[in-house]
Structure 1
Amino acid sequence: MTSKKIIERLQKQNWFVKCETEHEVALVLNACVDAKISWSHGASASFLPDQILQKTPIFIGRDACFNENGLFWDDLMYFDAETPNLEDITDWFFEELRK
């Protein structure tokens, strides 16, 4: 079960998590399911696009400018240059899971 603190942060906008492994992708998406956040196209976060596991690292994020409600992913680190409003919560997210 995902902590209330993580759920509250994920429900806010403008964040991304860098996932280095399939396991990390699963942890992020499971937390998103608990937070009731779906992909930008409306599918549940439990749906895993085939191509997402073929590339690492994967960046999973939520951007109010890009799509105010859903998740997106990319295998490129465009976040810093094109969307400076996104906060990298990677370290925080995985530390909170360990608590």
Structure 2
Amino acid sequence: MTYVASPGGTRLTVTGAPPWLATAGAGDVLGGILGALFATHAAALEADAEACAALAATAALVHGLAAARASAGGPLVALDVAEAIPATIAALLRP
């Protein structure tokens, strides 16, 4: 479970990540997802700092879904999660 809070009072919870995500380097993958979201939403962040919380929760969600896809119910390494990100995002964008 991931908790996201902002100075403005936004509080979000993201659930569903597999326990296998607790592995070395997984936080780096999450940081990369978050960095990419911040970079692509810079204007929104500049206009509203509270958007940071929503982007952080989105990063945690993508991270957890990619881990579930990569693990297939078993152990994984951080690179497995990173490699599952494109397919995870594509699945989220599918109508």
Q: Same fold (TM over 0.5)?
A: no
Task: Determine which structure has the larger strand proportion and give its number.
Answer: 1
TM-score by length of 2: 0.29
TM-score by length of 1: 0.28
